[in-house]
Amino acid sequence: MSAATWRYFGTRESPQARVWAREGGIAVHENLFRLKGRRTAHLLGPSEEALLEAARSVGCQDHWIQRTNTVHFDLVAEYLDRALIFCGVDPGDPPLRRVWADKADKAD
């Protein structure tokens, strides 16, 4: 899995994250929800097969997959840190949680 296909999305960028994933990328979308004070995110992919491959690359187990309206993995702790690294984001200094998209990044 190429790191170039991974991209971080802030809490208010869920539509853009879904578009990115649908168009072939791997999206790490930060949640507003925190688990015991820790940041959390969703991992999205263009297909279940690609999503599973991406999840395995950060250490997730296949049975952790969430098959809701949007098939995803929940990421926290070291799994989120590894995914942020694939996105080119420093886990020790991640972007602000509420990141607003540039006009060029907005989904149609």
Place of tokens 């168009």: 23
What does pTM read for this prediction?
0.83
Taking only the tens place, the pLDDT of each residue in 43-71 is 999 999 999 999 999 999 999 999 999 99
Residue 35 is classified by DSSP as B
Strand partners, 43: 28, 73
Confidence of residue 97 (pLDDT cuts 50, 70, 90): low
pLDDT given for residue 67 in this prediction: 94
Question: What's the sign of the alpha-carbon dihedral 76, 85, 52, 106?
Answer: positive
Within 8 A by CB and 6+ apart from 18, the residues are 27, 44, 70, 107
Within 8 A by CB and 6+ apart from 70, the residues are 18, 42, 44
